Structure 1
Amino acid sequence: MVTPDSAGRTAITTLDCVGLKGRCQVVGIRASGALRKRVLAMGMVPGAVVEVLRSAPLGDPTEYRVKGYCLSLRRAEASLIEVVLDGGGK
């Protein structure tokens, strides 16, 4: 569930900015065309809860858990997914 901060706002960031072991909730997808369709088909839909599991030694790609399964996204792809932190993020 998305909860507002003390001023009544929610801080929107992108998935690539969420730290390891962080949890967040998807609020939007900025990708277009085939990439948008692919990201949505993988379960990155508004309202989905995402957990950051681990990243490659150089930080790209990163593995996420969404809707009970794991997927890996490049940093460029993750930067197109807008999220709100669910506590424990960066």
Structure 2
Amino acid sequence: MTGESEPSALDLAVRRLDRALAMLETRMTERVAEAGAEAGGLFDADRSRLAAELDAARSREKALEEAGAQASEALGRAIAEIRAALGEERGAA
């Protein structure tokens, strides 16, 4: 017979199961933390790459705006020259 101070087979099995569950929970927590750290590193790299691409796009946008302004000024001068030439032709005719 089993005495009061001696745990039963069922008690021992429950304790082993509790220890196994605690170990599993610890390992799962560690794995989740590792996965989060890896994902965070990937996120940081992705964010850096996107920031660099955004800077490059903004630079291209600025260059295009400047080119557009220069083209607009040149077109305005050309229109003024054409109008002046047409006005001279009308005055000479």
Q: Which category describes the TM-score, using the shorter chain as reference length?
A: under 0.3
Larger Cα-atom Rg: 2
More relative contact order, 1 or 2 (CA 8 Å, 6+ apart): 1
Q: Tell me the TM-score normalized by structure 1.
A: 0.15
Structure whose residues are more often helix by fraction: 2
Structure whose residues are more often strand by fraction: 1
Q: Tell me the TM-score normalized by structure 2.
A: 0.15
